Amino acid sequence: MEEKLTNSLYAHRYQILVAVMIGGIMGPIDASVVNVNYHIIGSHFGVALPAAQWIVMVYLLTVSSLLLFYGRLGDILGYKKVYLIGLLGFTITSLLCSLSYFWPSISWLILFRAIQGVAAGMMMSMPYAIIVSSFPPQERGRALGINAISISVGLAIGPSLGGFITYFAGWPYIFLINIPIGIFGLWWGNKVIPEFEGNPGKIDLGGAITNCLFLCSFLFFMNRFPTQGINYTTLFAAIVATVAFLGFLTIEKRVEPPMINLKLFQNLTFSLANLSALLNFMSQYVLVTLAPSYLNRVLQYEQNEVGILLTIFPLTTLVVAPFAGSLSDRISPRFLTSSGAAICALSLFFLSRLSLSSSAADIAWRLAMFGLGTGIFQSPNMNAAMGSVPREHLGVASSVLATVRNVGMVLGTATGGAIISALVPSSILQGSEKLVGKEASIFVLGLKNAYLWGAILTGIAAFTSLFISRHD
C-alpha cells in the first residue's frame, strides 16, 4: 500500500489527521458525559442504580468485543469505509438515544446504547491505521501525539460539559451534541480521507464470534466479580470466557486467513508495547475511578471543584503528548516510554501518601505529574507498536491497541475496586454522604492500597518498555 501513498497524499496529511480526530474526540466525550449522568438518567426512568449502570456497561461491552473484528474488516474493505460507516452509525444512534427520553422504559435507551457501541467500535478501530498510512515514518510520532490530544480533550471536558448540559438543558442533550459534530465529521472525512485499498479476503466468522464471546463474558466477569464474588452469574461468565478464548486460539491457528494473525504477537516490540499500554491504562482507571469519592466524600469538595481538579491530569497529557510523539520520531521510543511509565508509577506512589488533610495543591501537583508521565508514555508507545507491523496488518494492529485501551479501563476499574472493597465496608462505599472520623480513615487506607497497586502496574510497564525498539 505504501507505494500508492503519493506526495499529494502526504501534502493533505494534516487535513486527514483532523478528520480522524473528530471521531477520536466524540468517543471520550460521550463516555465521560454519560458516566457522570447515568444516575440522573436512571432517576428519570424510575430505576435503581444497578439498572442504570447498564447504560454505561452495555456500550463498553459492545465496543470492546468488536474492535478486533473491525480491524480485520478495515484491512479487507479499506480504512475509510469502516471509519465513516462507524461515524454515521454513531451519529444516528446518538439521536435515537436522545429520543428515548420520551419513551416509557429505560430498556430502549440501553438497546440504543448497545447499537451505538457497535458503531463506535468501527469509528475507534481505524484512526491509528489511517494516521500511520497517511504520514511518512519520520512524522508518525508527532501525528499520533497530536491525535492523543483529541482523547485527552474529550476526557478533560466531558465531565464538566456533561454537568453543564444536563443542568441547563437536560440529559437528552448530552447525546444531541454528537449530531452536529458527527455531520461535520462525515462531510470532512469523506472529502479528505483517501480511499485506502483493502486486501480482499474472507471474514473469519468463527474467530469473530469466539472473540466477541470471550471479551463480552470476560469484561462482564471483571465488572461483577469485585462486588459479587463467585455466584452463578459470575461463574457462568468465567466458564464462557475460558471456553470462548480456547476456541478462539484454536480457530485462529487453523483457519486461513485468520481474523488476527497471531504471529503479530511474536513481534517483541508489538507485544510489549501493547502489554505496557494495558498496564498504563489500568493504572489510569485505578486513579480516575477512585479519586472523585476521595475528593468529594473525604475532603468534601463540591462536584464542580472535583471536576476542575481532575482535569489537571488530561490537560497536562494534552500539552505533553505532541512533543513526546515528535521526539519519538527522532530517538528510540524505549527511553520515552520507560521514563513516562516510571513517572506515572512515582506519581501514584505520591498519591498513595495523601491523607485526610491533603490540600488542593497537594493533589494538583501529583495529578499533573501523572499527566506528564502519561503524555511522555502514550505517543511513543503507539508509534512503536504501529511502526512494528506490516502495512497489510495496520487495521488489526490499530484495533488491538483500541481493544487494549478498553480492556485496561475495565481491568483498572475492577482491580482497584476489588482492593478498596476488600478493605472498606460496603456500607461506606455504597453511601453518598460525607465521611468523617474513623470511616474517612478506613476509606483513605483502601485508597492508599489501590494506588500502590496502580504504582506497581506502571512500574512493570516501565520495565517492559525497556525492550521496545524502533521499527519503520
Q: What is the pLDDT of residues 360-400, one digit of tens each?
A: 999 999 999 999 999 899 888 888 888 788 777 777 777 78
How much is the pLDDT for 5? 46
pLDDT tens, residue by residue, 214-228: 888 888 888 777 777
How much is the pLDDT for 462? 95
Give yes or no for a cis peptide into 226 (omega within 30° of 0): no
* Integer Cα distance of 54 and 113 in angstroms: 9
> Residue 3, by phi and psi: left (phi above 0), alpha (psi -120 to 50) or beta?
alpha
24 within 8 A of 321, measured Cβ to Cβ: no
* Integer Cα distance of 427 and 441 in angstroms: 14
**Residue 304: enclosing H or E segment and its boundaries?**
helix 303-310
CATH code of domain 262-472 = 1.20.1250.20
How much is the pLDDT for 152? 66
* Integer Cα distance of 427 and 31 in angstroms: 28
Which residue positions in the chain have pLDDT lower than 70?
A: 1-11, 32, 35-36, 39, 48-50, 152, 155-157, 159-160, 163, 198-199, 201, 303-304, 430-432, 470-472
What's the distance, CA 155 to chain centroid? 10
461 CB-near residues (< 8 Å, 6+ apart): 275, 276, 277, 279, 280, 283, 337, 341, 344, 345, 377
Would the pTM of this model clear 0.85, i.e. be above it? no
325 within 8 A of 143, measured Cβ to Cβ: yes
Cell 507485544, located at residue? 271
Among residues 69, 73, 68, 63, which one has the least CA distance to residue 119?
A: 63
172 within 8 A of 45, measured Cβ to Cβ: no
How much is the pLDDT for 76? 82
Amino acid code (one letter) for 401: L
CATH fold label, 1-202: Growth Hormone; Chain: A; (1.20.1250)
Cβ count near 382 (within 10 Å): 29
How much is the pLDDT for 89? 95
